[in-house]
Structure 1
Amino acid sequence: MDLAVIWDKFAEHLQSFKAIEDYEMKKIAGIPFIYVKASCAKEEIEEIIKKSAAKSMRGKRLHSETVYVRPQANHFVYRHRFYVPQEKMFCCGNLCVDCIRLRG
């Protein structure tokens, strides 16, 4: 799964909201940060980010995590990432207690 496609969809969905004036994604030390300039409150921005992430992940086995970092000039800075859940997705044949075959 190519996360670049997910990030592109996320940017599209995020910029489709009228309250979002500007959006920029920067990777610093391998960690993705998003800089959002908006004409609404911080709580509304976080809700928009959550909705945009959900739309871009639809149909995929992904999760997202968004952490507010700081305000900078006219932007709000968030650490945002998409990640694959850490769970077994196939049976390895070692009779593990958390085997996928034992799920209900």
Structure 2
Amino acid sequence: MKTDHERAFDLFSEDLHRSSVIKNVQFKQITGLPFVYLWPAHQADQSQLEDQLKRSAAKAMKGKRLTLAMSYVRKSQAFYVYRVRFLVPQRKMFCCGNFCDDCIRFT
């Protein structure tokens, strides 16, 4: 069974592959960080690519407690590179019954 994080990344990938603004998408993990390589369609510029990334991420995160961390890395002659991560909340969201100091019941 996949986690919300894994399902969100799958939905994100599917939505980017269907986009008319993007000709090709490739995902790479380098030193544990996810990078997205985007080859734009002929009429697309960088702002359109970033808008598509944000729209696809919003669709993927809908109904889940995730946030987007996206940063532009570099541009080659043919493609753009972005680091895109879905972050999970740092705060505990339920009581495990172990009487932890940072228990959700104490907030």
TM-score, normalised to structure 1's length?
0.83
Q: How many residue pairs end up in the alignment?
A: 101
Q: Distance in 1 between matches of 2:33 and 2:53?
A: 17
- What RMSD in Å do the two structures reach over aligned CA positions? 1.9
Sort the Cα spacing of 1:83 and 1:95 in 2 relative to 1 into closer, same or farther, 3 A. Answer: closer
Gaps of 5+ in 1: none
Tell me the equivalent position of 1:72: 76
Tell me the equivalent position of 1:90: 94
Tell me the equivalent position of 2:11: 9
Could you tell me how far 1:83 is from its partner in structure 2?
A: 1.2
Gaps of 5+ in 2: none
Which is worse superposed, 84-93 or 63-72?
84-93
Tell me the equivalent position of 2:61: 57
Q: Residues 49-75 of structure 1: CA distance to partner in whole angstroms, max 9, x if unpaired?
A: 000001011111111111000012311
TM-score, normalised to structure 2's length?
0.81
Q: Distance in 2 between matches of 1:79 and 1:67?
A: 5
Tell me the equivalent position of 1:21: 23
> Where do 4+ consecutive residues of structure 1 move more than 4 Å?
91-96, 99-103
**SS where residue 64 of structure 2 aligns?**
coil
Q: Is the 8 A contact 2:5 2:66 kept in 1?
A: no
